[in-house]
Amino acid sequence: MLMPCRHCYEISQVRAALPPSVQSCPVRNPKQSTLPKRRRLSSTEQCQILSLRQAGHSNKAIAEQLGRSRRCIDGFVKNPAAYGQAHEGGRPLKLTRADHRLIARLASNSTMRANQIRARLSLSVSTSTVLRAVRRQIFLRRERMKRAPRLTRSHREARLEFAREFFFQETGEE
């Protein structure tokens, strides 16, 4: 016996009085497959489908022979030239791949904020879009800078002495 889905189980008591044709789940279609989509038809499979179709085989017979779904075969036979050309849909991206790389390069090892990056690259997108692009980079991790002590007088004198010693050594000046 098949186990009903959670939705069916919760309302099974209410549906008991209904006729059998209405007792199925209104949310999940039991005939609908929950398996993921398979890979696209290869070029050899496409050639096989066309040749079997010309030989007079039905779409169902072709599907059984190739081990593919009938709907897959139907979609290909309907318009073979347009197979796999359908637009994926969704909103077009505002940033190009090059923009993403430039943003990552500027954000990497710098203290620039998203607004500063946007201004430097003169992008016509919002600051939140730039921030999203930075967060999308898996190799970047924003961290708070480590505190460093301020330079003391002795540090400045030592730095100046170092510069005098090595700079004048290389240039030959004194």
94-146, pLDDT tens digit by residue? 999 999 999 999 999 888 999 999 999 999 999 999 999 999 998 888 788 88
Among residues 131, 144, 75, 71, which one has the least CA distance to residue 104? Answer: 131
Highest mean pLDDT out of 66-80, 84-98, 156-170? 66-80
State residue 141's pLDDT score.
Answer: 81
**CATH number of the domain located at residue range(s) 97-136 in this protein:** 1.10.10.10
Backbone angles phi, psi at 71, to 5 degrees: -65, -35
Give the span between the Cα atoms of 115 and 119, in whole angstroms: 6
- Boundaries of every domain in the chain: 43-82, 97-136
44, 83, 88, 89, 95 from 92: Cα distances, Å: 33, 22, 11, 8, 9
Give pTM, 2 decimals. 0.44
